[in-house]
Amino acid sequence: MTRIQEVRAREVFDSRGQPTIEVEIVCENRVYGRAIAPAGASRGGCEAAELRDYQSERFSGKGVLNAVHIVHDIIAPALRGLSIETPAYIDRLLVELDGTPDRSRLGGNVLVATSVAVAQAAAQARGLPLYESLARDATKCGLRSHGNADDSYRLPVPMVNMISGGLHAGQRIEVQDFLIIPRSAQSFRQAMELIFRVHRQLGTLLRKYGYEADLVADEGGYGPRLHKSEQALEFLVQAIRESGLQEGKDIVIAIDLAATHFYRDGRYDLATVNKKLSSSEMLDYLAGWLRSYPIVSLEDPLAENDWEGWAAITRRWGHLFQLVGDYLFATNPMRLRDGISQGIANAILIKPNQVGTLSETFEVMRIAQQAGYRMVLSARSGETEENWLADLAVATGVGQIKIGCITRGERLAKYNQLLRIEDWLGDKAQLARI
């Protein structure tokens, strides 16, 4: 049995240059784990609370020295001497130490960094690759992960950011992200090849028509100063065609509207087209997009507290399209159960730092799985250079992953890890279908 000797923390930086917390777990026999907490620019109201130094002038109140002290003063004494090979027990202990429904005592950022560092060390102690170790932990939490008789693993289909607006690109257009999914790919490597073709051609088109295509948004996609969201869809379809691919067959489109950010006083404020729409009018507006473009997935098409609108959109399109709740569910088991009971959405975005620990993430995934909801594992706009999210996707067989574009190191770290895992697994790797 390998026991924890030290738990350390420090302030480091994420991909947006914002401070964040890194946690290290040091064990006997040179077993070691380390993880950095990601952070979102756009945050749902029901996410686990981040612990930051809000009263300090240092880093404009975004520092995490208080979080570092919590690791050293509260978490480290509680974890010393525990077996690293029982990560679920350690996760439960972390939740008990926090003792709040929104993780506001210890902070969701502290919990996720600690939980992932523990998982990294546990995999090392077990002598397993991280995805295999996590698959064992997920199964113990009741999640049906890969679990096939032939011991194969399901690799996620990438949902890749191409054009950004909203809070990811200075709110030049309301919609947060326009993404593509390589539907016809037979392997993860082939999926990346298709994505590269479309991304390169999209850049060529944007430059041709006088739009910015050299700087990138928070998640690596293009952030052109478009006049309205429909232009993004037109550019995507043209780029797909000029890449020698067929829209709707080879490549399909997903949209993350993040509608909470333009929902004001019960109306959806689409300033770029000078419209303020009710929920039903918003649905009619989106219907035009769904008829005209090869869209298969809508994320947060309505605001997180517009439950009546969500029920309506699910009744109308739930059998035809993937309707993903991000702010709606916030990787929160109670919100998800409420949504399931009311027949709201048919898919959930999974962000571990929205809930806290990996064990809690597995629990949310188990609830979604039992209800037949699809799952999309997601990175954050403030990401890190670490690649554990890729291992988590393979371990849980989640089916879809949303990391960002293919132009920034913190995104490519995850994509490259998925390519490695596919190579390691060989014939046991199967790309999910959508």
Q: Annotated catalytic sites, by residue?
A: 219, 351
Q: From start to end of 127-248, where are the E strands?
A: 153-155, 157-158, 160-164, 177-182
In which residue are the tokens 């032939």 written? 150
In sequence order, what are the residues at sequence separation of 6 or more whose Cβ sits closer than 8 angstroms to the Cβ of residue 420? none
CA 262 to chain centre: 21
Residue 331: name the closest of 396, 405, 414, 415 by CA: 396
In which residue are the tokens 């799985």 written? 369
Cβ pair 75, 112 in contact under 8 A: no
CA 37 vs CA 2, 9, 20, 107: distances in Å: 25, 11, 6, 11
- As a dihedral over the C-alpha atoms of residue 411, residue 416, residue 422, residue 424, rounded to 10 degrees, the angle is -140
What string of DSSP letters covers 130-150?
HHHHHHHHHHHTT---S--TT
Cβ pair 153, 131 in contact under 8 A: yes
Q: Counting every residue, how long is the chain?
A: 434
Structure tokens at 327: 């702010």
Bridge partners for 216 per DSSP? 222
| Distance (Å, whole) CA 262 – CA 272 | 11
In sequence order, what are the residues at sequence separation of 6 or more whose Cβ sits closer than 8 angstroms to the Cβ of residue 86? none
In which residue are the tokens 């302030």 written? 11
Structure tokens at 195: 């994505």
- b/e map of 395-432 (b: 16 or more CB within 10 Å)? bbbbbbbbbbbbbbebbbbbbebbbebbeebeeebbbb
